[in-house]
């Protein structure tokens, strides 16, 4: 039993090396990769699809992989809990911008995701659906008074149940029947001339105060609900912005290899100026564009150094 087991152990490392080389060959900035394991240290959830934003090279070999945070987290700060070997939990904060991974760690924790465009389209579609739902609720509330009436009723009931100071005049409104409420409401919201013409008593004045207080509460609750719904829509709409920014970052990342190659090419071309004589110390004994003999070139290099 031991011999096959040993044989399996010896054949496994080359397979792993082959897989890693295969993945390495496909690495390119601008691609999307899926987390195949949760990474609590960076608050990256399992199956998160992230943009490979940049590759840092050392001695012409990929060394560090820079991943961009998910659009729904990008630019935010999150408190996380990291389990410790002794069983305790360490709390810390993670800023979601970019994450750096050594190449070896990256290949163990991520896999290439070919359907990234479809995944991002589904994520943005869910956000658009939420926006449409919130907008529909707002429009329906403005066209259907019963909706806001229920909102007001629920809020007033909640306020009445909450511990507070003794009831003010506004709470006395519940003692009047519907006809009296309607009359008092017309008086409270009408002109002073109308109020005087209907006959004023101390009881009516008190009732008018109660109605006016309630009308104010109703208007305030309705206004707060509309403002809250509008703010909620604005918050959801803002979630779309990082998705557009990620698209721009992906397009820019795809040019990284070309830009890096061109930069090295330009650097190499500029170094040729020393050999053709268009750059370096002036030499009155040579003509521009004439190749410099090796002895003269070495001497000039020493003098310049």
CA 56 – CA 75 distance, rounded (Å):
22
C-alpha torsion angle, residues 145, 151, 156, 159 (rounded to 10): -160
Longest alpha-carbon distance in the chain: 119
Residue 170: which of 204, 214, 132 has the closest Cα?
214
Q: What is the pLDDT of residue 49?
A: 98
Supply the mean pLDDT for the chain: 77
Q: What is the pLDDT of residue 232?
A: 95
Task: For residue range 265-302, list pLDDT tens digits in order.
Answer: 787 777 766 666 555 555 555 555 555 555 544 444 44
- Residue 202: φ, ψ to 5°: -60, -35
Q: How far, in whole angstroms, is CA 44 from its chain's centroid?
A: 13
Q: Which residue has the higher pLDDT, 7 or 211?
A: 211
Predicted confidence (pLDDT) at residue 66 exceeds the cutoff of 80? yes
Predicted confidence (pLDDT) at residue 67 exceeds the cutoff of 90? yes
Task: For residue range 73-127, list pLDDT tens digits in order.
Answer: 999 999 988 888 888 988 999 999 999 999 999 999 999 999 999 999 999 999 9
Task: For residue range 148-201, list pLDDT tens digits in order.
Answer: 888 888 888 887 787 655 544 444 444 444 454 555 555 555 555 565 555 566
Q: Are 186 and 197 in contact (CB under 8 A)?
A: no
The b-or-e profile of 214-246 (16+ CB within 10 A means b, else e) is bbebbeebbeebeeebeeebeebeebeebbeeb
Residue 186: which of 196, 194, 174, 178 has the closest Cα?
194
CA 74 – CA 88 distance, rounded (Å):
29
CA 65 – CA 248 distance, rounded (Å):
19
Sign (positive or negative) of CA dihedral 79, 80, 85, 87: positive
Name the token pair of 220: 């305030």
* Residue 288, CA distances (Å) to 128, 261, 278, 294 in order: 66, 30, 7, 16
Hunting for tokens 């509330």 — which residue is that? 141
Q: What is the pLDDT of residue 112?
A: 94
Residue 102's DSSP bridge partners are: 64
Name the token pair of 140: 């329906």
To the nearest 10 degrees (0 to 180), the angle between helices 202-238 and 178-189 is 80
Q: What is the pLDDT of residue 258?
A: 80
Q: Are 175 and 260 in contact (CB under 8 A)?
A: no
| Helix residue ranges per DSSP H, the chain | 2-26, 103-109, 116-143, 145-161, 178-189, 192-197, 202-238, 241-254, 256-271, 273-276, 294-304
Predicted confidence (pLDDT) at residue 223 exceeds the cutoff of 80? yes
Task: For residue range 27-63, list pLDDT tens digits in order.
Answer: 899 999 999 999 999 999 999 999 999 999 898 888 9
Give the E-state strand segments of 41-139 in sequence order: 49-58, 61-68, 77-83, 89-95, 98-102, 110-112
Q: Are 49 and 34 in contact (CB under 8 A)?
A: yes
Q: What is the pLDDT of residue 149?
A: 87
Residue 128: which of 243, 246, 227, 228 has the closest Cα?
243
Q: What is the pLDDT of residue 194?
A: 60
Name the token pair of 146: 């019963």
CA 299 – CA 293 distance, rounded (Å):
10
């Amino acid at each position: 039993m031991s011999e096959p087991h040993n044989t399996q152990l010896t054949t496994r490392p080359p397979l792993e090396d082959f897989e890693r080389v295969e993945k390495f060959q496909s690495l390119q900035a601008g691609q999307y990769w899926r987390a195949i394991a949760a990474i609590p240290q960076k608050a990256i959830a399992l199956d998160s699809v992230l943009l490979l934003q940049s590759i840092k090279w050392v001695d012409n070999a990929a060394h560090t992989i820079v991943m961009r945070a998910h659009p729904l987290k990008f630019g935010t700060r999150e408190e996380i809990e990291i389990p410790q070997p002794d069983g305790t939990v360490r709390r810390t904060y993670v800023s979601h911008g970019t994450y750096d991974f050594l190449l070896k760690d990256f290949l163990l924790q991520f896999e290439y995701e070919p359907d990234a465009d479809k995944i991002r389209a589904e994520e943005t579609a869910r956000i658009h659906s939420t926006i449409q739902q919130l907008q529909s609720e707002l429009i329906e509330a403005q066209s259907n008074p019963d909706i806001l009436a229920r909102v007001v009723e629920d809020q007033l009931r909640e306020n009445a149940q909450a511990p507070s100071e003794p009831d003010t005049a506004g709470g006395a409104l519940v003692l009047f029947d519907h006809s009296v409420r309607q009359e008092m409401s017309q008086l409270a919201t009408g002109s002073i001339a109308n109020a005087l013409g209907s006959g004023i008593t101390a009881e009516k004045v008190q009732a008018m105060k109660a109605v006016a207080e309630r009308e104010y509460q109703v208007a305030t609750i309705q206004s707060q609900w509309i403002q809250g719904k509008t703010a909620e829509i604005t918050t959801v709409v803002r979630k779309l912005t990082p998705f557009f920014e990620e698209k721009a970052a992906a397009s820019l990342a795809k040019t990284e290899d070309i830009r890096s190659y061109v930069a090295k090419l330009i650097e190499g071309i500029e170094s040729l100026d020393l050999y053709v004589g268009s750059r370096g110390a002036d030499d009155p004994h040579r003509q521009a564009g004439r190749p410099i003999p090796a002895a003269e070139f070495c001497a000039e290099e020493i003098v310049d150094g």
